[in-house]
Amino acid sequence: MPRPKDDFEELYPCDFYTPEELLDEELLYTVYEIARLLQGLEADAEIDEGVEDILLDWAIPWIMRNAEELVIAEPPSDDEPGYYGLKSESTEE
């Protein structure tokens, strides 16, 4: 149910990192690691599964929105996620 803005003590700008600000050009990340980074956590931070599910709600649209600036690599096995990274001159060829 929608709530009035006055119900909240403080409102914040809805700013997200750009891929260049968030990701290291030499590394590839899973969606789970990107989700942590978007929240200012370390990529390998231990978090509860419920929290991870919420963070994925932010990460998946971020990946889709920035798809033109990203590359994807196949997962090492069928039970692992794919990996995403920054597009660079070497990856565009």
Query: Tens of pLDDT along 12-22?
Result: 888 889 999 99
Are the CB atoms for 63 and 84 separated by under 8 Å?
A: yes
Domain assignment present for 1: no
- Is residue 34 domain-resident? yes
**What is the average pLDDT across 25-34?**
96
Query: Is the residue at 11 inside a domain?
Result: no
Residue 46 within any structural domain of the chain: yes
Residue range(s) defining the domain that contains residue 45:
18-88
| Domain count across the chain | 1
Classify residue 51: in a domain, yes or no: yes
Cβ atoms 69, 87 nearer than 8 A: yes
User: In Å, how far are 71, 74, 86, 87 from 91, measured between CA atoms?
Assistant: 8, 14, 9, 6
Average pLDDT over residues 34-51: 94
* Enclosing H/E stretch for 34: helix 31-38
